[in-house]
Amino acid sequence: MSGRLLPVLRAALLFGLLAAWEWAARSGALDVRTFSAPTAAGRLVLEQLRSGSVVPHFLATLQAAGWGLVLGFLAGAALGWLAGTVRWFGRLVEPVMLVLNAIPRVVLAPVFILWLGIGIASKVALSFFLVVVLVFFAVYGGLREVNPALVDRVQSLGGSRWDLLREVQVPSVLAWVFSSLRVTVGFAFTGAVVGEFIASSRGLGYLLNLAQNTYNATLLMATVAQILATVLVLFAALEWVERRATRWKQG
């Protein structure tokens, strides 16, 4: 199939699904109170955007996710670097991180809310906790999987430890970090939204919870649509960043 046809087809598919949903809601095949309808949800989104009522929620989520991402990134990178360079430390933390990586970390959301309250701190903590493990493995893996032939190459050219760091280790780690960047940012966002969903007074997750508790299907659909749109825009931007940063990988 030609590359130009594919996006058109995708858009047509999406539009077809929405149209079917709309038709089903109008004809009564779907209960509008439970399923809402694309036009209703769309109208609400426009209204929310015009009145700016959604802005504080949006900012709250972004803020929690942003802090979780930044702090989780710093901590994960520091731990990963230490584990990759100090052998005994690596042996100590790797099993812990493996376990943390294996369990669904969102189950800790209620714990954080219990400990840190319903404010932003518990959301940042959950987001942080999701991110830190991912970044740890990206940095740790990048250091451990450094190609020994490249180390030999730089060393045999007379390279110092500093040259090795700059020419081999850091680029290798960055390659790993960039290739997991989208998942990392996605997790930061998930942490914030899930935290808000469980207990909070602001944020997109709070809106989801509110809609569910008040049986407001239209608000629910409108919020889901806005979360989806945000994530899609974010991922497109990150993909661009990743492509630019790893241009050397493309044949």
Among 50, 87, 161, 247, interactor with another protein by CB under 8 A: 247
Quickly count helices (H) and strands (E) in the chain. 13, 0
Q: Per rule CB under 8 A, is residue 131 in the interface with another protein?
A: no
Amino acid 63 reads Q
Taking CB under 8 A as the rule, does residue 244 contact another protein?
A: no
Type of residue numbered 132: V
Which range touches another protein (CB under 8 A), out of 122-130, 132-140, 142-150, 208-216?
Answer: 142-150
Q: Which is nearer to another protein, 47 or 152 (CB)?
A: 152
Task: Yes or no: say if 106 and 130 are a contact pair by the CB < 8 Å rule.
Answer: yes
C-beta closer to another protein: residue 107 or 157: 157
Minimum separation from the CB atom of position 248 to another protein (A) = 4
Closest alpha carbon to 203 in 225, 229, 223, 182: 223
Which residues does 143 contact at the CB level (< 8 Å), separation at least 6? 80, 81, 84, 85, 169, 172, 173
180 and 242 Cβ atoms separated by less than 8 Å? no
| Among residues 4, 157, 161, 213, the one that binds another protein under rule CB under 8 A | 157
Angle CA(205)–CA(130)–CA(249) in degrees, nearest 5? Answer: 115
- The distance of closest approach from Cβ of residue 87 to another protein in the complex, given in angstroms and rounded to an integer, is 17
Q: What are phi and psi of 4, to 5 degrees?
A: -80, -25
Residue closer to another protein, measured from CB, 43 or 166? 166
Rule CB under 8 A: is residue 42 a binding residue for another protein?
no
Only one of the segments 21-29, 66-74, 164-172, 204-212 lies at the binding site for another protein (rule: CB under 8 A); that segment is: 164-172
In the list 158, 161, 213, 244, the residue contacting another protein (rule: CB under 8 A) is 158
Residue 101 or residue 160: which is nearer to another protein going by CB? Answer: 160
Report the alpha-carbon distance of residue 246 to residue 235 in Å, rounded. Answer: 16
List residues near another protein by CB under 8 A: 147, 149-150, 152-160, 163, 167-168, 171, 175, 247-251
